[in-house]
């Protein structure tokens, strides 16, 4: 069997291994066994999900596996991924599990797991759980000895509790009065809570893509497709637009002129604001190697050290903890504010961004000028296998040729997706036209060899 865990949990096509009911049940037993607190501990496990049609099916199978080992399950229903992390830590659960495939199409799904402290698992912990899933025989026998199986409960007020947590993250009081915004909830987990949160904070809110039907999640909307959001911001004469992904752990913003801002730009704005307010105990920001070169240049001007981690918010978190940083994230829109939360949170990032706007009295386009974005091209190439990139002669020749062409005017990064059968080819260069041309050269070679 292939490796189950990728860069962000287990992910795949729903109703197919490893996101079939049989494996979900085994995963439930494995999670229950790994987090077993012993006979003297009342083990409780929290499960949340996004709006995919397969969510209830997988939640039922996962819960059955947990209950088969005598542990209790609490269902939070549709709730953002960071909401599960929050409630797991604050309400004393043994672990929290999110059933979601983030920004992927509706037919995909996945499992993300949080420890009792609200942090994601280490690589070692994932390997242990994966081994338990693959060698389920012993746990099956153990479950057959359990006389008092676990029970399943519904969590009351899960969204209200998470909303109050978010409101309490604002330093200067719970009000965004006078601000007009458009929010794109991607027909996902933010569809109910996001309008409620921003309206409670007295903002004027126009909501789009907030009517999930099980199959329209991320369908030409949300953080991956902010075009309609940008048009709506302009039409509504709004101060900004906010786009979340399917499980609302990432944010992409749109300024008042309809221009889309990346996660790097939002982090640059927040880093400047937090430093000016004395909210960066150490002048350090952690991102991944995928971040734009312009972010490093902007942080250097601000007197902030820039640390780069491997791709994946778990690895960003590891470096943040090592460096004592409170701000980190990914250009894709995952942003971690460690002085408030243990994981990336799209709505928290939105609140911090709006707070920076309010404190400065500037428009979002004015604040975005803190960072000059280097031209960047990212091409996702579908692949049938994932051999080590440095072992593929044809691809390495193409990469070296582009690197020689760029010299010190740009860079190349080629890596596999940890959640999809794709190779990501990223090139940054001096002009948009040259960057696209060079990126396509490498992508074409990858497609020939691996597609």
How far, in Å, CA of 29 to CA of 45, rounded?
A: 12
The answer to whether 330 and 286 are in contact (CB under 8 A) is no
The answer to whether 113 and 120 are in contact (CB under 8 A) is yes
Q: Which of 164, 150, 192 is nearest to 91 (CA)?
A: 164
Q: Which residue has the tokens 């902030």?
A: 304
The answer to whether 334 and 313 are in contact (CB under 8 A) is yes
Kindly report the number of other CB atoms within 10 A of residue 417's CB atom: 18
Active-site pick, 54, 68, 102, 223: 102
How far, in Å, CA of 253 to CA of 259, rounded?
A: 8
State residue 28 phi and psi, 5-degree precision: -60, -45
Q: With b meaning 16 or more CB within 10 Å and e meaning fewer, what string describes 135-165? A: ebeebeeebeeeeeebeeeebeebbebbbeb
Verify whether residue 223 is a known catalytic residue. no
The answer to whether 8 and 102 are in contact (CB under 8 A) is yes
Query: Active-site residue numbers?
Result: 102
């Amino acid at each position: 069997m292939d490796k189950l865990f990728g860069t962000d949990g287990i992910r795949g096509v729903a109703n197919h291994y490893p996101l079939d009911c049989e494996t979900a049940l085994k995963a439930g037993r494995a999670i229950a066994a790994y987090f077993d607190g012993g006979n003297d501990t009342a083990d409780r496990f929290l499960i949340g999900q996004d709006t995919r049609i397969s969510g209830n099916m997988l939640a039922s199978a996962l819960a059955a596996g947990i209950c088969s080992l005598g542990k209790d399950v609490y269902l939070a229903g549709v709730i953002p991924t960071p909401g599960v992390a929050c409630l797991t830590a604050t309400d004393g659960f043994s672990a929290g599990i999110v059933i979601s495939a983030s920004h992927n199409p509706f037919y995909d799904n996945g499992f993300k797991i949080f420890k009792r402290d609200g942090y994601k698992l280490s690589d070692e912990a994932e390997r242990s759980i994966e081994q338990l899933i693959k060698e389920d025989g012993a746990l099956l026998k153990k479950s057959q000895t359990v006389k008092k199986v676990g029970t399943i409960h519904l969590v009351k007020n899960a969204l209200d509790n998470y909303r109050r947590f978010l409101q309490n993250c604002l330093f200067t009081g719970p009000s965004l009065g006078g601000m007009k915004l458009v929010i794109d909830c991607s027909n996902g987990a933010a569809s109910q809570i996001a309008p409620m949160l921003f309206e409670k904070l007295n903002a004027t809110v126009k909501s789009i893509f907030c009517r999930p039907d099980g199959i329209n999640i991320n369908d030409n909307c949300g953080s991956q497709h902010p075009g309609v959001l940008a048009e709506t911001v302009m039409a509504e004469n709004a101060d900004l637009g906010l786009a979340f992904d399917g499980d609302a752990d990432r944010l992409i913003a749109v300024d008042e002129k309809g221009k889309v801002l990346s996660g790097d730009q939002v982090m640059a704005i927040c880093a400047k604001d937090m430093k000016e307010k004395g909210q960066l105990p150490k002048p350090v920001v952690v991102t991944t190697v995928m971040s734009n070169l312009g972010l490093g240049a902007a942080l250097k001007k601000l007197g902030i050290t820039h640390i780069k981690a491997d791709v994946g918010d778990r690895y960003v978190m590891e470096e943040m903890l090592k460096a004592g940083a409170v701000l980190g994230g990914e250009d894709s829109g995952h942003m971690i504010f460690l002085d408030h939360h243990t994981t990336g949170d799209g709505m928290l990032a939105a609140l911090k961004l709006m707070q920076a706007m309010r404190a400065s009295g500037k428009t979002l386009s004015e604040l975005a000028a803190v960072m000059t974005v280097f031209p960047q091209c990212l091409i996702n190439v579908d692949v049938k296998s994932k051999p080590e990139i440095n072992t593929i002669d044809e691809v390495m020749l193409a990469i070296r040729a582009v690197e020689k062409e760029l010299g010190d005017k740009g860079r190349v990064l080629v890596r596999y997706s940890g959640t999809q059968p794709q190779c990501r080819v990223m090139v940054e260069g001096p002009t948009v036209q040259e960057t696209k041309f060079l990126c396509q050269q490498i992508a074409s070679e990858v497609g020939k060899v691996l597609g």
